Amino acid sequence: MKLLLPLILAAALPWVLLAAAEGPAMTDVNWVATAGYGIAERLDAGGGGAAGQCWDALVELKACTNEIILFFFNGEAYLGKDCCKSIRTIMYGCWPSMLTSIGFTAKEADILRHYCGPPAPVPGAPPSAS
């Protein structure tokens, strides 16, 4: 029962964030809002692309919520490749505390991080010192 509330929150928050990303843009000093641009486009307006990857990972995490629920409730020892990719992107490249922010406990976030492993090394990059 302790796990039910975090799972409900984990399932609901991505829907809320996705709705915000698809909603109408607000006008501010640095951005002239154009109809059809949502928060994801505004956050990625600098052209860096990293914020867009983080939003994409969050949307993908929403898509694999059922897999994550089965992983914890039924002891399913399998999460899909895309689900793990989004978990790695969020944990290692975006917001390491995001999973706890959307309702997972720190222990559950650690389990997911360890299950999915670290991101694959970039081809041609020198090995890390750790």
Q: Which residues contact 121 (CB under 8 A, 6 or more apart)?
A: 127, 128
d(CA 104, CA 89): 17
Give the start-to-end residue ranges of the domains of the chain: 48-116
Task: Mark 35-47 as b/e (b = at least 16 C-beta within 10 Å).
Answer: eebbbbbbebeee
Give per-residue pLDDT as tens, 6-36.
555 555 555 544 544 454 444 444 444 455 5
Better pLDDT: 99 or 127: 99
Q: What pLDDT, on a 0 to 100 scale, did the predictor assign at position 30?
A: 47
- Average pLDDT, rounded, for the chain: 71
Give per-residue pLDDT as tens, 41-100.
555 544 445 677 888 888 888 888 889 989 988 887 788 899 999 999 888 888 777 888
